[in-house]
Structure 1
Amino acid sequence: MTQTPPRDPAVPDVLAPAKLGPVTLRNRVIKAATYEGLSRKSLVTDELIDFHVRHAAGGVGMTTVAYCAVAPEGRTDRRQIQWRPEALPGLRKLTEAVHAEGAAVAAQIGHAGPVANPKSNKLPALGPSRHFHATTTSFTKAATRADLDRIVRAHADAATMAVEAGFDAVEIHLGHNYLASSFLSPKVNHRKDEYGGSLENRARLSRNIARAVRDAVGDRIAITAKLNMDDGVPGGFWLDEAIKVAQWLEQDGSLDALELTAGSSLLNPMYLFKGDAPLREFAAVMPQPVKLGVKLVGKHFLRAYPYKDAYLLDDARQIRAAVTMPLILLGGITGKHVMDQAMREGFQFVAMARALLREPDLINRIKDDASVRSLCIHCNKCMTAIYGGTHCVLTGPLTGPLTRRQA
């Protein structure tokens, strides 16, 4: 029988309890935000609650509810949860159900900006500058300073409501060319005022949002942010700038941890995911004329990138070397061997997405057998399932909550 080598006591045990700001998680594994496609009329549904209960029962330390918009025009679809008093009863029901399974729960808060769907929302999408969005075949409206002030306040209000709803943490969305991320990108941000030009100006909105959230909630809940390391497009936001923004966010003292991501939902969505680009499946769920466009030129927009475990680690190491704040490693976390590598390299938490869509009980299985590896094949067809409820297409939609007794 092969013996497990002794663990280095200086390296955190990824499956042991850990502090995230004021919150103690039962382990260092976070279910990353993956838009569930299960909210209706911007409100929580029983299906959305069941989705997160399954992940909580499956053993994660914290599950993340995605994506909760701070303003009506900031939704990528009109069905998405929007922070407002009418949403609070359902959100409380969700947090109570997750807590009953022993896990913590975070709410991802943000504004989709140029990624928002103005046709679905019946409101103009906002961006740093006028920009054509191929998926919605529409132009964004350049946000005014009054818009930006309103949106900063809306993030603070959303975080306050998250406390009231029983969330343990909020994750501020600063990635994927959503509004704050689009301001960071010199490819998308062509402004000439104090929000454009220099990196300091382009980072102003992200820093103002994080500061407003911290001022609103103090240390009542944990505050994290999802930050792009690069957009994956020439002329976009890149790692050298991300390092400086991470340092500024650390200096500001607004965050308890930073989750590192990459890619642009606006310009290069597959850059984050790595693996296959399911063009046929994307075309099948898109309306015309987008469906035809995907068939004709989709391979130029939905590019396939080679997959490897911990595929964001090389870039994330450079952020790790530049800041001391806790960091969350995302991307290709498929088993305990990758989690342990992240811990050895100085990351405090890991975040998992597709692997948990494939197997919501994966963490419990890893606890029982450290050699267990994810069954996810990185086909990325789960991305096309959001319109009917996000799930792994290989297993089919799960129905009803999975409790510990069933796990």
Structure 2
Amino acid sequence: MTTVETPDVLAPARLGPLELRNRVIKAATYEGLSHKSLVTQDLVDFHVGYAKGGVGMTTVAYCAVAKEGRTDRHQIHWTDEAMPGLRKLTDAVHAEGAAVSAQIGHGGPVANPKGNGAPALSPSKHFHATTLSWAKEASVDDIHRITEAHAEAARRAAAAGFDAVEVHLGHNYLASSFLSPKVNHRTDAYGGSLENRARFAREIMRAVHDAVGGRIAVIAKMNMDDGVPGGFWLDEAIPVAQWLEMDGTVDALEMTAGSSLLNPMYLFKGDAPLDDFSAIMPQPIKLGVKLVGKHFLRSYPYRDAYLLEDARQIRSAVKVPMILLGGITDRPAMDLAMREGFEFVAMARSLLREPDLVNRIGRDAATPSLCIHCNKCMPTNFTGTRCVLVDRGSSRGATWGKPAGYVS
């Protein structure tokens, strides 16, 4: 009987064409540090901090493939003007020995129509309670245009020096909303059966794969569970993951959960900081959060490696490398992921609290995480994502303030 050795999470590993110095990835957390869709020095510093802190790769989130796909009016999208700043960012991360990935996608019904100056798109007409507006049904021409926009974003990411792209197929952003039977009520080739609802996501992944031609790694971040009755769930996520593997368009899968459209806290687990969200919202949304926020921003119990139970079912159904996300905070959780057959782990909130956590775990495997899963970091993505429990002047935490000018 052959014994398979459990990988060392802090040893070098290969991800598609990419060699990483370890198996730890800083997960995408929208930084709120771009300005007028351009890179700022604060955004560069944000990711350099994690590179210095020891991650194998950091992920720049969220770079929209089209202007109307932004969820924030300052969000980066792939213009000529953005490219010099993106190159400076990738060069700075590489100088610290880490790789860097660009998360690409289209916000769809989660996009900000007021900030974008254009209606949000959805597989079917949909009212978004947060923006108090209707998303219009995407035409087939829109679908083809946005598919090509993903390909162009991947080409530009490679040109800007990114080592990977992470294609956003989760959280009821556009591709994810097509997967969801709760949001997708179409009767054409992109609606109805699971095969039809998955068509858009598969076409996006094929276009991205073909665009970069193996020059950089391609990751798909895909929902296992929307967290809402009648939504996309694990029984459908398994065959979609198998189709992506069969298509040969992904170097790794990162499974996620929840709906930014309908149940945003489902992914995060832990406390729902209603007062903090309400404090930064304009009227009349502020009043809405106070009145009905507890029904939209629900609290879920936290436990380490909380997505493992579902993700291991995907793991058993595919052979493609997988990244375990959700409650990875310390060496025991990392080692558990390796024993369960995952090739990589993704960390988010614990690194917001302690950007150098990976280095310290490397020196002492018993190092605990100081993250308490209060989720008060979530509302800060409007002003610069950070852990609010860390003194901004402390060497152990972030020093983000207002964006410190454009990078060119």
Task: State the TM-score, normalized to the length of structure 2.
Answer: 0.96
Q: Which residue of 1 aligns with 2:274?
A: 279
Q: Which residue of 1 aligns with 2:328?
A: 333
CA distance in 2, matches of 1:35, 1:396: 20
Is residue 182 from structure 1 mapped to residue 177 from structure 2 by the alignment? yes
Q: What's the CA shift for 1:84?
A: 1.4
The correspondence of residues 257-406 of structure 1 with structure 2, limited to 5 A, is 257-397=252-392, 398-399=398-399
Any gaps of 5 or more consecutive residues in structure 1? 1-7, 402-407
**Quick one: which of 86, 91, 116 aligns to 2:86?**
91
The correspondence of residues 13-24 of structure 1 with structure 2, limited to 5 A, is 13-24=8-19
Return the letter of the residue paired with 1:134.
A
CA distance in 2, matches of 1:124, 1:277: 29
Q: What's the CA shift for 1:400?
A: 7.2
Q: Which residue of 2 aligns with 1:55?
A: 50
Return the letter of the residue paired with 1:70.
V
Q: Which residue of 1 aligns with 2:212?
A: 217
CA distance in 2, matches of 1:319, 1:387: 33
CA distance in 1, matches of 2:161, 2:97: 14
CA distance in 2, matches of 1:199, 1:78: 33
Q: Which residue of 2 aligns with 1:193?
A: 188
Question: Which is worse superposed, 392-401 or 55-64?
Answer: 392-401
CA distance in 2, matches of 1:16, 1:248: 30
The correspondence of residues 216-235 of structure 1 with structure 2, limited to 5 A, is 216-235=211-230
Q: Which residue of 2 aligns with 1:151?
A: 146
Q: Which residue of 1 aligns with 2:406?
A: none
**Quick one: which of 113, 121, 129 aligns to 1:134?**
129
- DSSP-derived class of the 2:63 partner: strand
CA distance in 1, matches of 2:269, 2:198: 27
Q: Deviations over 1:83-116 (max 9, x none)?
A: 1111110000000000000000000000000000
- DSSP-derived class of the 1:42 partner: coil
Return the letter of the residue paired with 1:175.
G
**Quick one: which of 160, 169, 178 aligns to 1:165?**
160
Q: What's the CA shift for 1:399?
A: 2.4
- DSSP-derived class of the 1:162 partner: helix
**Quick one: which of 98, 105, 116 aligns to 1:110?**
105
CA distance in 2, matches of 1:246, 1:184: 12
CA distance in 2, matches of 1:296, 1:156: 42
- DSSP-derived class of the 1:291 partner: helix
CA distance in 2, matches of 1:42, 1:129: 28
Q: Which residue of 1 aligns with 2:395?
A: none
Q: What's the CA shift for 1:9?
A: 7.0
Is residue 73 from structure 1 mapped to residue 68 from structure 2 by the alignment? yes
- DSSP-derived class of the 1:322 partner: coil
The percentage of counterpart residues that share the same residue type is 75
Q: What's the CA shift for 1:193?
A: 0.3
CA distance in 2, matches of 1:102, 1:373: 24
- DSSP-derived class of the 2:62 partner: strand
Return the letter of the residue paired with 2:65.
V
Q: Which residue of 2 aligns with 1:404?
A: none
Q: Which residue of 2 aligns with 1:5?
A: none
CA distance in 1, matches of 2:157, 2:187: 35
CA distance in 1, matches of 2:84, 2:296: 40
- DSSP-derived class of the 1:85 partner: coil
Q: Deviations over 1:230-261 (max 9, x none)?
A: 00000000000000100000000000000010
Q: Deviations over 1:127-174 (max 9, x none)?
A: 101101111000101000000100000000000001100000000000
Change (3 A) 1:210 1:50: same
Return the letter of the residue paired with 2:382.
Y
Return the letter of the residue paired with 2:128.
H
CA distance in 2, matches of 1:9, 1:200: 35
- DSSP-derived class of the 1:160 partner: helix
Q: Deviations over 1:350-393 (max 9, x none)?
A: 00000000000000000000001110000000001011100000
Q: What's the CA shift for 1:27?
A: 0.2
- DSSP-derived class of the 1:54 partner: helix
Matched residue pairs, number?
A: 394
- DSSP-derived class of the 1:197 partner: coil
- DSSP-derived class of the 1:151 partner: helix
CA distance in 1, matches of 2:141, 2:263: 30
Return the letter of the residue paired with 2:239.
K
Is residue 243 from structure 1 mapped to residue 243 from structure 2 by the alignment? no
CA distance in 2, matches of 1:9, 1:96: 37
- DSSP-derived class of the 1:391 partner: coil
CA distance in 1, matches of 2:274, 2:72: 21
CA distance in 2, matches of 1:121, 1:155: 18
CA distance in 2, matches of 1:133, 1:163: 34
Return the letter of the residue paired with 2:205.
A
- DSSP-derived class of the 1:99 partner: helix
Task: State the TM-score, normalized to the length of structure 1.
Answer: 0.96
Return the letter of the residue paired with 2:7.
P
Note if contact 2:122-2:177 (Cα within 8 Å) is conserved in structure 1: yes
Is residue 125 from structure 1 mapped to residue 120 from structure 2 by the alignment? yes
